Amino acid sequence: MLNGPVNPSWMCAREKGISEQTFHRWKRQFGMLPQDQAKRLKELEKENARLKRLLADEILGKELLKEALEKSCEPRPQAPDRRYLCEPGLMQ
């Protein structure tokens, strides 16, 4: 026997402000897990997303440093010889 009235899934979803599809997806994903395990799974998913962002930032930083190093190691163009910049009669 159930204790209390049973709401259809669409009513539960509406009360929580989510779509019925989201409700069923969450129910399928977390419905069989005890509450503490579902909470731990959610925490691990958040941590995983954070670590993925950190890794992406590190990879981007490494690529930027590599590009900067390549540019700084390129030979600089030779400056023209200053003796030939002015015509002989114009130098003071």
Give pLDDT tens digits for 52-81: 999 999 999 999 999 988 888 766 667 665
Say how far apart CA 21 and CA 13 lie, in whole Å: 9
Higher pLDDT: 22 or 57? It is 57
pTM of the model: 0.46
Say how far apart CA 3 and CA 7 lie, in whole Å: 12
Domain containing 60: what range? 9-70
- For residue 31, being part of any structural domain is answered with yes
- For residue 41, being part of any structural domain is answered with yes
- For residue 63, being part of any structural domain is answered with yes
- For residue 64, being part of any structural domain is answered with yes
Q: Would you state the pLDDT for residue 2?
A: 46
Q: How many domains does the chain have?
A: 1
In the three-class reduction of DSSP (H, G, I as helix; E, B as strand; rest coil), residue 4 is classed as coil
Give first-to-last CA distance, the chain, whole Å. 109
Q: One-letter amino acid identity for 66?
A: K
Mean pLDDT (the chain, rounded): 79
DSSP code of residue 33: S
Higher pLDDT: 43 or 83? It is 43
- For residue 17, being part of any structural domain is answered with yes
